[in-house]
Amino acid sequence: MGALPPNPRSISGQKKGSAVALNSERFVADLHILRTFGASGVGKGVVRPAYSEADMAARDWLASRMAEAGLEPRFDVMGNLFGVAEGPSLLLGSHSDSQPQGGWLDGALGVVAALEVARASVEAGGPAISVVSFQDEEGRYGVTTGSNVWTGGLSLADADALVDHDGVALGEARRVVGDRVGAPVDPAQFTAFVELHIEQGATLDTAGAQIGVVTDIVGIRDRVITLTGQQNHAGTTAMALRRDAFQGLVAFSGRLNERLRNVVTPSSVWTIGHVAVAPNASSIVPGQVRFSMQWRDGDADRLARMEAVIEETLAEVAAEMNLGVEQGPLLGLEPVAMDGHLRACLEAGAEAVAPGKWRRMPSGALHDATNVARVMPVAMLFVPSIGGISHAFEEDTDEADLVAGLRVLAHAAGLQALA
């Protein structure tokens, strides 16, 4: 674990008062350039899933920006991209892959803001700040895969065996990183990690607040479930004789919503977000359905209680409807609290940049910071998402709020921002 620097008001140890010219125009311009990699054509939407052509092109562009900023660009085996400053440094960043239909700021904001803070710091003669864009935060292969492997939460061999919804193994997909891969990047050279992100919910927007300082990040469980019945003719198979896999999913989902109510709080969430019905034809009773089952909560015991309800309900429906059940590996991350000292630095920055317009809040979304907490102190800050919308092409944030987030990040790093 990296040792924390002594200065209680600054993550990097930099004395208060260094005049660093953060260039907010350059920061916003870079965000818009990053959006062009995988631009969806709908609003500011982005389609840049992990290891896609757009994702790798964006990473190459980021690597060139890092080099221009005086950082050493380094790819690891997973395709995580680091811009490394010399000597011990503070690590800032997030991820630049997107959901299959994503917004332009999810992850991108934290990476580009990190780049701007590091660049401004180099121009001002220090402190040393490194930048990261983690790979597959958005879970083409499960849950924050790139940072999970980098921090030892998941072995490379186990990661390679993970398969996406199209049946492509991660071990196959990551070949596109190719000869970019260099020597491993040792986490011990980084003293702490701070991630700026959009909130992706409506708390800040509704409250008219500009900054959220994160207290903790919820935990998650995620697995793929397959129900198998009997594919048959939709005209000749009597309803009583059917073993309809899709109807099995419908029954499971309905009962689950009722039963989970006994164990959850208003903050608990569960989602069946990906469904593949086979053979997916109007005149065929579906023989198989494969679906994702994901649940999140800030309390690890509650996650376990939710799992038990899911298991019981699944077994019950399968027995009643004579369906086979197959479950994929249970992926997950535990709830994580943010480091107190780093939080205090962010709170001081928030009060300086947005006096009275910030609040402490938990994160209901997952972030790479959860994994990075295994190897160094971590903290996060949020800026508002307009209408609380994210993981959608409509995702957006006021430019003034983006710049406020940048300034709080720089302030907390010990750089008095002149944005």
Q: How far is CA 317 from CA 252, 279, 294, in A?
A: 6, 21, 18
Judged by CB under 6 A, the residue of 285, 366, 369, 409 near ligand GLV is 366
What single-letter amino acid sits at 92? Answer: L
Cα(102)–Cα(107) distance, integer angstroms: 10
Q: Which does 97 bind (CB under 5 to 8 A by kind): ligand GLV, Mn ion, none?
A: none
Q: Least CB distance from residue 198 to Mn ion, whole Å?
A: 8
Q: Least CB distance from residue 189 to ligand GLV, whole Å?
A: 27
Residue 245 or 365 having the CB closest to ligand GLV: 365
Residue 197 or 343 having the CB closest to ligand GLV: 197
Residue 138 or 297 having the CB closest to ligand GLV: 138
Nearest CA-CA partner of 334 in 367, 310, 298: 298
What the block records as the tokens of 357 is: 């317009």
E strand map for 247-357: 269-271, 275-278, 284-285, 288-297, 324-327, 331-333, 336-337
Handedness of CA 11, 113, 132, 202 (dihedral sign): positive
Cα(120)–Cα(23) distance, integer angstroms: 7
Q: Least CB distance from residue 363 to ligand GLV, whole Å?
A: 8
| 138 is an interface residue for ligand GLV by CB under 6 A | yes
Cα(141)–Cα(67) distance, integer angstroms: 29
Handedness of CA 122, 124, 126, 130 (dihedral sign): negative
- 345: burial class by Cβ within 10 Å (0-12, 13-18, 19+)? buried
Q: Least CB distance from residue 79 to ligand GLV, whole Å?
A: 17
Q: Least CB distance from residue 95 to ligand GLV, whole Å?
A: 8
Cα(170)–Cα(188) distance, integer angstroms: 26
Interface stretch with Mn ion, choices 25-33, 103-111, 145-153, 283-291 (CB under 5 A): 103-111
Contact string (CB under 6 A) for ligand GLV, positions 346-365, x = contact = -------------------x
E strand map for 229-330: 232-233, 269-271, 275-278, 284-285, 288-297, 324-327
What the block records as the tokens of 38 is: 């995988």
Judged by CB under 5 A, the residue of 30, 106, 136, 164 near Mn ion is 106
Q: Which does 366 bind (CB under 5 to 8 A by kind): ligand GLV, Mn ion, none?
A: ligand GLV
| 50 is an interface residue for ligand GLV by CB under 6 A | no
Q: List phi, psi (to 5°) of 163.
A: -125, 140
Residue 199 or 347 having the CB closest to ligand GLV: 199
Q: Least CB distance from residue 40 to ligand GLV, whole Å?
A: 17
| 76 is an interface residue for ligand GLV by CB under 6 A | no
Residue 107 or 127 having the CB closest to Mn ion: 107
Q: Which does 211 bind (CB under 5 to 8 A by kind): ligand GLV, Mn ion, none?
A: none
Q: What number of helices (H) and strands (E) belong to the chain?
A: 12, 19
Q: Is 367 annotated as a binding residue?
A: no
With CB under 5 A, what is the number of residues at the site for Mn ion?
2
Residue 345 or 366 having the CB closest to ligand GLV: 366
Handedness of CA 60, 32, 93, 89 (dihedral sign): positive
With CB under 6 A, what is the number of residues at the site for ligand GLV?
3
The DSSP bridge pattern shows strands 129-134 and 89-95 to be parallel
Are 200 and 385 spatial neighbours (Cβ–Cβ below 8 Å)?
A: yes
Cα(416)–Cα(412) distance, integer angstroms: 9
Q: Which does 90 bind (CB under 5 to 8 A by kind): ligand GLV, Mn ion, none?
A: none
Q: Least CB distance from residue 280 to ligand GLV, whole Å?
A: 26
| 2 is an interface residue for Mn ion by CB under 5 A | no
Q: Is 138 annotated as a binding residue?
A: yes
Centroid of chain to Cα 144: 6
| 107 is an interface residue for Mn ion by CB under 5 A | yes
Q: Which residues bind ligand GLV (CB under 6 A)?
A: 138, 365-366
- Known binding-site residue numbers for Zn(2+): 95, 106, 138, 197, 391
